[in-house]
Amino acid sequence: MNVKNLAKLITVALLLVPAFAFGASVEDATSNRVELIAAFNKLIIIVGFMIGLAVTIAGGYKMIQVGNQVAKFGWIAPAIYIMAGVVMMNVSPSLSVITNTYFNVDFCTMIDESQTVSSSCFKDEISGLTGPLKERISRLSSDSTAEKFMENIEIIVGIFQVIGFIYFLVGAYGLTQVANGSAQHGYGKPIITMVASALIVDIPHTATMFIDTLHKIGINF
């Protein structure tokens, strides 16, 4: 099974997260979803590290081949392998580089390793995006319904982050496919995949930037 097929399998499983909680109470269902997302996060980091380590070792082997002049490729392929391997072994720091570039903020995970929703991650951004809607729900229904709405938003962000993690790794691995000549495209596609997935991982900032841009050109909701 290659990396892309594994990514598709995990993504499909993740999209079925709500079904895993079928039959449970509202509180238990929310808790189960948070635990599943946290487990997916941990799994992705572990799998990414293992694949990245293998890619780095392969890059080192290719570099030895170049040094011994028994390889038909130059130094670029092993360098790309090693770079991609390091990126895959350090998913969170690599994503932080991109989010700092676009938003000047450090990357954060909505659902952390302790299997709880972070009280600080994206707090201001989510409040700015959903605050008026939460107040409207509270007026029309109840405060408890509004809180459940916010919990669902946090879980949705967590799901988007996991999907972003997966395709960030797919993009990094795609660099190695271009380097060894097995891809039918250039480096642009995997790089765009990595940047786009980073924007998905940081979706509250991405949404805020998008809405601010619309406001600047005179489009308001």
Q: Give backbone dihedrals phi and psi of 117, rounded to 5 degrees, phi first.
A: -80, 130
% of the chain beyond a pLDDT of 70: 78
pLDDT at position 111 is 83
Task: Provide the 3-class DSSP secondary structure of residue 111.
Answer: strand
The alpha-helical segments, DSSP class H, found in the chain are 3-15, 17-20, 26-67, 76-89, 91-103, 123-140, 143-179, 188-201, 203-216
Instruction: Identify whether the C-beta of residue 96 lies closer than 8 Å to the C-beta of residue 191.
Output: no
Determine the average pLDDT of the residues in 60-65: 87
To the nearest 10°, report the CA torsion of 41, 28, 152, 135. -140
Mean pLDDT of 143-157: 79
State the pLDDT at residue 5.
59
Does residue 90 carry a pLDDT above 70?
A: yes
The pLDDT value given to residue 67: 77
Residues 202 and 110: their CA atoms lie apart, in Å, by 10
The residue with greater pLDDT, 33 or 131, is 33
Residue with tokens 């982050």: 161
Query: Residue 82 — pLDDT band, cuts 50, 70, 90?
Result: very high
Residue 83 clears pLDDT 90, i.e. is over it: yes
pLDDT of 220: 65
Q: What distance in Å separates the CA atoms of residue 160 and residue 26, rounded to the nearest whole number?
A: 21
How does residue 127 score in pLDDT terms, banded at 50, 70 and 90? low
Q: How far is CA 21 from CA 16, 50, 148, in A?
A: 9, 30, 15
pLDDT of the residue at 114? 72
Burial class (CB in 10 A: 0-12, 13-18, 19+), 6: middle
Mean of the per-residue pLDDT values for the chain? Answer: 78
